[in-house]
Copies of this chain bind each other. A is one copy, B any other.
């Protein structure tokens, strides 16, 4: 099931990655953004801008859809001058960007028109991961703003770990106590440090404390 030893976080895995020479054809590649569909652009913007602190890099109303890029201004100058942040941020050269696709008319559709990837039997995408300097304060602030908390800090039971009953019933991700498929106590300890909330569309947002594991 896994070629890795049970329970131990392994930096660089088993050190079996191929070398990465200076002339490899992938030098300079960046995983710079991810893109999700949203029905209600304004609700999603409220969450990612007002609550999560992202700002607008670029918007295009293409006609049948609006394409929206968000990012974090990373210098004082950009924080103080958001129009310059937008103008000077090169999308391909910047990591940590979020792209929202709003197909026009989707704002009239009911819950479930798009899926988060976390509702069986339609699993796939798991979550967007954000790291934050002060997780307890962040979670408190989001909770007060009405954001649904899927997993609280400290929670690390079998039910909190994102393996569904639907998968278990199909022999996937099954935990058998006393075997190597048991959830390792070290992982429970680590997992307890994270929290999960849901964005307005229902996507899962993982919140990691910065400085953790340093």
B-binding residues in A (CB < 8 A): 1-2, 4-15, 17-22, 24-37, 41, 49-68, 71-73, 76, 79-80, 82-83, 85-87, 89-93, 95-99, 101-109, 113-117, 122-133, 137-138, 141, 161-163, 167, 170-175, 180-184, 187, 190, 203, 206, 208-214
In the complex, which of the residues B33, B86, B173 contacts A103, with contact meaning CB atoms closer than 8 Å? B173
B contact residues around A131 at 8 Å (CB): 29-30, 32, 91-93
Also in contact, A137 and B25, with CB within 8 A (given A30-B130, A62-B7, A63-B180): yes
Closest to A171 in B: B105
Closest to A35 in B: B126
Known: A64-B181, A93-B214. 7 other contacts (CB 8 A): A2-B102, A12-B83, A30-B130, A31-B98, A62-B183, A101-B162, A104-B173
Also in contact, A173 and B213, with CB within 8 A (given A17-B56, A53-B20): no
